[in-house]
C-alpha cells in the first residue's frame, strides 16, 4: 500500500510545487488542513513561504499547532520546507519574537551582515554539506553527494538549533556558515526547497517517501 502523505495547508505560500513533486514521484499525496486527516497520515509535509508569525498564525487559526506537535512527538516522518522547517524550532525572531512549534529546540534568526556585501535575502542555488560528525547514509540524504550539489534557497532568516545533534546540514553564504538542514529522528527540516531544486531535490523527496 502506498503510504499516505499529507501536505499541511495552513494558508501560507505556494504548496502547489510541493504537491507537483510528490505527484511526479508517484506518491499518494493530498493537501489538507483537516486535523483528522493530517493525524491519520503516514507522513506529513510542512511547507510554507512567508513570515514566521504569519506561519504560526496560519496553524493556530486552523487548530493545527497541537496536531503538528503531536506528529513530532510521535516521531512520524515529517519534512519541513523553508518556513515549515523554521516553524519546527522553538521561537522565531522575525518582526518580534514569536513561539514556534518547538519540535526541535532552537531559534530562527536573521542573517548577520555578510562578506562581499552579499545580498539578503539569499535567492539562488547553494551547496549543502554534512557537519564532520554527521553521516547521511541511511537517511533522506543518502544518495546526495556531500557538498557537491546545489539546492534552491530563498530566505533572510536561518535555523539555529540549540543542540549540535540536530544540525544535519550546513551551508555557506557570504562568509557565514549556517544550518540548512535540521533533523531529529524521522523529522527533517530543510531551509532550501527540494521541490524546486531540480533532479537532486527530487532525489531527497524520493528518499523521504522511502523512509515512510
Q: State the catalytic residues.
A: 82, 193, 195
Q: Minimum distance from CB of 54 to another protein (Å)? A: 8
CA atoms lying within 13 Å on the CB side of residue 124: 9
Nearer to another protein, 137 or 199 (CB): 199
Binding site for another protein (CB under 8 A): 13-14, 16-17, 20-21, 24, 49-51, 116, 118-119, 121-126, 150, 152, 154-155, 173-174, 193, 195-199, 201-202
Among 202, 178, 191, residue whose Cα is nearest residue 87: 191
Among 115, 110, 126, residue whose Cα is nearest residue 190: 126
Q: Minimum distance from CB of 70 to another protein (Å)? A: 28
Nearer to another protein, 116 or 137 (CB): 116
> Could you give the C-alpha distances from 125 to 46, 105, 201, in angstroms and in order?
21, 27, 11
Q: Minimum distance from CB of 12 to another protein (Å)? A: 9
Beta strands in the chain (DSSP E): 4-8, 28-32, 43-46, 78-81, 91-92, 98-99, 106-110, 122-127, 150-155, 157-161, 167-173, 176-184, 187-190
Nearer to another protein, 39 or 202 (CB): 202
Nearer to another protein, 73 or 123 (CB): 123
Q: Minimum distance from CB of 120 to another protein (Å)? A: 8
Amino acid at each position: 500500500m502506498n503510504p499516505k502523505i499529507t501536505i499541511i495547508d495552513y494558508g501560507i505560500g505556494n504548496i502547489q510545487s510541493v504537491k507537483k513533486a510528490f505527484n511526479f514521484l508517484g506518491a499518494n499525496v493530498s493537501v489538507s488542513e483537516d486535523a483528522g486527516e493530517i493525524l491519520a497520515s503516514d507522513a506529513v509535509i510542512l511547507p510554507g513561504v512567508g513570515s514566521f508569525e504569519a506561519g504560526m498564525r496560519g496553524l493556530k487559526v486552523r487548530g493545527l499547532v497541537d496536531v503538528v506537535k503531536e506528529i513530532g512527538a510521535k516521531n512520524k516522518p515529517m519534512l519541513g520546507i523553508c518556513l515549515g522547517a523554521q516553524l519546527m524550532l522553538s521561537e522565531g525572531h522575525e518582526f518580534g519574537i514569536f513561539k514556534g512549534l518547538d519540535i526541535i529546540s532552537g531559534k530562527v534568526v536573521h542573517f548577520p551582515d555578510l562578506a562581499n556585501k552579499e545580498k539578503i535575502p539569499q535567492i539562488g542555488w547553494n551547496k549543502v554539506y554534512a557537519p564532520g560528525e554527521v553521516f547521511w547514509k541511511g537517511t533522506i540524504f543518502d544518495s546526495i553527494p556531500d557538498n557537491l550539489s546545489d539546492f534552491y534557497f530563498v530566505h533572510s532568516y536561518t535555523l539555529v538549533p540549540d543542540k549540535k545533534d540536530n544540525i544535519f546540514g550546513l551551508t555557506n553564504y557570504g562568509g557565514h556558515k549556517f544550518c540548512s538542514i535540521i533533523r531529529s529522528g524521522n523529522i527533517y527540516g530543510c531551509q532550501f526547497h527540494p521541490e524546486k531544486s531540480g533532479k537532486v531535490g527530487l532525489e531527497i523527496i524520493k528518499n523521504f517517501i522511502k523512509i515512510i
